[in-house]
Structure 1
Amino acid sequence: MSELKIFRAKYIYPVSSPVIEDGIVATAKGRIIAVGPYRQLKDLGVVFDLGEVVLMPALVNAHVHLELSALKWRLTPTGSFISWVKSLIKGRTEVGEDEAKEAAWQAVREMWHEGVGVIADIGNTPLALSALESSPVEGIFFREIINFRNGSREFKELVGLGRTPGIRISLSAHSPYTVSPLLLQAIKAWTRSRRSIFSIHVAECPEEVLFLKEGSGPIRFLLEERGQWNPSFRPPEMSPVAYLHSLGLLDQRTLCVHVVQVDLEDLELISRTGASVCLCPRSNTFLGVGLPPVERFLALGIRPALGTDSLASNDRLSIFAEMATVARFFPRIPPEEIIKMGTIYGARALGLERDWGSLEQGKRAAFLSLRIDGLGLAAEDLAGFLTTSSHPPELSWIYG
């Protein structure tokens, strides 16, 4: 088998199984064919000994807005979510197309250098799609729809994007307060008919809860200012998660992003319907909207993915930094579980678990090598080490 490559490392961190000390990952034709101890697999062929490294799966960024990358450092926390939204709207008008494309390309490059192999990009336009197409990462591009005033919309422009190897296309509704009820259902129907993932920001801020329960507050004022208010809208008088459920939007191919302003009933709905969750804790802290109840998610069997959101509400697009943030705010969560949030849970939430998220036979042979020379790490220390430093050790990619 001339395509066979065998990589030996001090540690193999499959994620789906315990750490292997003095292990091997064998690959052929772009796929992993074996993972195990060196002593058991050393006779497969010529071994590339990588030395003092840990091999682990590529990271998954399950929520990012590449088209906003040029806004890095241009927006500051205001203490008001809606004030930040207004600054974002204004900031976008000040960025030219070429600048936005270049910033998107740089953002993808930054993520790749920090170990991200799968990206879920959300965009109002296909502006950043070329950055994904020309990169070594795999991803999903979600065309994001914002339209609260009208109840329907044609999807011809999305279909016209066609297909790109390594990049899947789907639809995203921005949020329950920026997309009308009928349009929310139409978007979900479109994704359901294609068996693709439907992504939506939900329960991100207190203003969203107020709007859906009472139909008032800063969000209504913003919709009126933007000419997006729908006079026929009647507040459902329920939480954002319950509202999505009432519209039939929650199922195993729905990805709920943020999920900060939730109670136990909301979490039970998510658990019961099988919907996925993506957390963006660094964005949440930047915007001052609170933090998601991560421990309660896990207790109910909800396995969160991690995302960075955009550089308009984050200074880095680093899943290592997101994992470190979870570890800092939720120290009782085992570090092994946090690693899963940045890998296998993200792949599962995006429907890409067959190829990504762990080092297992049959999965893509594209994974990370992290140098740990001189650190004296025992196998049981790896997860804690990887989740307490927002900057990873020297990292390189291995392609089989």
Structure 2
Amino acid sequence: MQEYPRYLYRAPFVVQGNGPIIADGAVLTEDGLVVAVGRYAELKDLDAQLEDYEGHVITPPLVNCHAHLELSYLSGLATAGSDSPSPGDMTGWIRSLLAARAENIEQDTVHDAALMALATLYAGGCRGVADIGNRPESSFLAEGFKTEVLFFLEMFGLCGESEESALAALSGFAADVRCTAHAPYSTGARLIQALKKRAGRERSLFPMHVAESAQEIEFLRTGSGPFRDFLLERGVAVDSFTPPGMGAVRYLDSLGVLDAQTLCVHAVHVDEEEISLLAARGGAVCLCPASNRYMGVGTAPVEKMLAQGIPLVLGTDSLASNPQLNLWQEMQVLRQDHPALAPEAVFAMASVNGSRLLGLGGRLGTVAPGVSSSLLAVRCQAKNEGDVLEYLTSTGTDIKLEWLE
């Protein structure tokens, strides 16, 4: 059994995540847990091995609320340059993705790339991940890994035979398999409702791609446009699909699946009425700013969401739509796109908000007694509390850190 010595970590600043930044702070750990947090002057006489992190700030680990580790071997799609679809062309990108996935790739290659992506996230300070995949065996990917992975099996089936087949498959999954819907344009109403009912029984989060592109909203409102053409190419019986005639959020609410356990991923193309609806139902939103920028789909109305109290978290999406899996980059891009955002709100999206949403709040996301002693020491020359979060949320991939274990 591994033994954890009693350590006192000192740094010029400690970012608690659920309270004010502590100047000249310290964190006492023992047996893998945080025992006390406070000013160094208050804790310095305790019996513990002192580790002084001058020139650093101690922070909670980060939490990634949307990733597709399975797609990591397709990283070339996010660096394809002139071969990439035009900005906002979601169906063009999906075609490229499906063509790449159709190639005969060794499963060891897929598995190794996913593990490398997970290791990259960990090296960047990420300790919790919500991972979306299409293969049930991907749920075992992170066994024995330090980063906690909550795996969700994503299901498709818009209408007709494809929806019936998915519903039949769903009934055969064990209760402990977390299942979710892909998106309103690819998952039929009955399948969405069945998946949400199952998630409710298991008290599970229900993440879903929602309102990522303008093409999606066109299809939901009119049943026409690039998504109709794409689905016809794929042999989907689109004529049997009745478009709801409304935006994605309003559509999900009409199905009775929008509540505090529903996580709308992306939520770029939502109107003010839908923002109010999300707030009223308690729904959360996962922002993926770097992926959205690469795909050219636009930016989410973040300020309006915050003004209505919608819980916001951050995700990286996949290496197929984002050249880097790095939550520091997500914070940086978010602030570039929304310069009026307060840095403390942005850091919360990448840490405490995500840990609460994924049910990890008792162990991760804050620096407080009782949480895991897996914390971050981030190199930072900030001179005052106000500069700390400004640096953490705007520096991006230039951040240098080490783990306190």
TM tier, smaller? over 0.9
Partner of 1:166: none
Q: Is the CA contact (8 Å cut-off) linking 1:215 and 1:235 kept in structure 2?
A: yes
Q: Which residue of 1 aligns with 2:302?
A: 294
Aligned residue type for 2:290: R
Task: Report the Cα offset of residue 30 of structure 1.
Answer: 2.3
Partner of 1:87: 96
* TM-score calculated relative to the size of structure 2: 0.92
For 2:362 and 2:273, the matched residues in 1 are separated by 32
Deviations 1:321-342 (A, max 9, x none): 0000011111111111111111
Distance in 1 of aligned mates of 2:114 and 2:298: 28
Aligned to 2:278: 270
Name the CA distance, whole Å, in 2 between partners of 1:2 and 1:30.
6
- Between the aligned partners of 1:5 and 1:143, the Cα distance in structure 2 is 40
- What CA RMSD, in Å, does the superposition of the two structures yield over aligned residues? 1.8
Bigger Cα displacement from structure 2, 180-189 vs 51-60: 51-60
**Local SS of the residue matching 1:11:** strand
Per-residue deviation, 1:218:
1.3
Aligned partners of 1:259 and 1:292 also within 8 Å: yes
Segment drifting more, 197-206 vs 90-99 = 90-99
Q: 1:142 is matched with which residue? A: 152
**Which residue among 124, 139, 150 is the counterpart of 1:114?**
124
Is the 2:8–2:28 contact (alpha carbons within 8 Å) kept by the matching residues of 1? yes
Q: Which moved more, 1:7-16 or 1:47-56?
A: 47-56
How has the CA–CA distance of structure 1 residues 376 and 173 changed in structure 2, closer, same or farther, with 3 Å as cutoff? Answer: closer
Which secondary structure does the structure 2 equivalent of 1:315 belong to? Answer: coil
CA distance in 2, matches of 1:229, 1:352: 41
Which whole-Å deviations, capped at 9, do the CAs of 1:95-125 have from their partners, x for residues lacking one?
Answer: 3311111110110010100000001100011
**1:225 lines up with 2:233 in the alignment:** yes
- 3-state SS of paired residue (2:273): helix
Paired position in structure 1 for 2:400: 394
Q: What's 1:200 paired with? A: 208
Deviates more, 1:350-359 or 1:378-387: 350-359
Question: Does residue 124 of the first structure (1) align with residue 130 of the second (2)?
Answer: no
Task: Determine helix, strand or coil for the equivalent of 1:43.
Answer: coil
Counterpart residue number, 2:51:
49
1:29 aligns to what? 31
Q: Which amino acid aligns with 1:254?
A: T
Which stretch shifts more, 384-393 or 304-313? 384-393
**Cα distance in 2 between the residues matched to 1:21 and 1:126:** 46
1:382 match: 388
What CA deviation, in whole Å up to 9, does each residue of 1:301-323 have, x standing for no partner? Answer: 11310001000100000000000
- Structure 1 residue 259 corresponds to structure 2 residue 262: no
- One-letter amino acid matched to 2:108: D
Equivalent in the alignment of 2:170? 155
Confirm or deny: 8 A CA contact 1:114 1:392 kept in the other structure: no
For structure 1, the 5+ residue unaligned runs are: 163-168
Amino acid at match of 1:223: L
- Cα distance in 1 for partners of 2:172, 2:113 equals 24
- SS for the counterpart of 2:366 is coil
2:303 and 2:226 mapped to 1: Cα distance? 30
Query: How big is the shift at 1:235?
Result: 1.1
Which range moved further: 67-76 or 238-247? 67-76
CA contact (8 A) 2:288 2:314 kept: yes
After superposition, what is the alpha-carbon deviation per residue over 1:318-373, rounded to whole angstroms, capped at 9, x for unaligned?
0000000011111111111111111011112222222221111222221111123x
Q: Give the 5 Å matches for 1:358-373.
A: 358-372=366-380
Alignment of 1:334 onto 2:337? no
Would the aligned equivalents of 1:105 and 1:128 in 2 still touch at CA under 8 Å?
no
Separation in 2, partners of 1:210, 1:131: 36
- Runs (4+) off by over 6 Å: none
In the other structure, the counterpart of 2:70 is: 67
- Checking the alignment, whether the CA contact within 8 Å between 2:291 and 2:317 is kept in structure 1 is yes
Kindly indicate whether the alpha-carbon contact (under 8 Å) linking 2:53 and 2:377 is maintained by their aligned counterparts in 1.
no
The answer for unaligned runs of 5 or more in structure 2 is none
Q: Partners of 1:57 and 1:2 in 2: how far apart?
A: 19
Q: Cα offset for 1:158?
A: 4.2
Q: Are 1:250 and 1:275, in contact at CA under 8 Å, matched by a contact in 2? A: yes
Q: Indicate the larger mover: 135-144 or 387-396.
A: 387-396
Shift of 1:154: 2.9
Distance 1:74 1:5, change over 3 A: same
TM-score w.r.t. length of structure 1: 0.93
User: Any idea what SS the aligned residue of 2:57 has?
Assistant: strand
Distance change in 2, residues 1:90/1:134 (3 Å): farther
Cα distance, 1:229 vs. partner? 2.6
Q: Percent identity?
A: 38
Separation of aligned partners in 1, 2:391 and 2:383: 8
The letter for the 2-side match of 1:83 is G
Does 80-89 or 7-16 show the bigger shift?
7-16
Contact 2:77/2:97 (<8 A) preserved: no
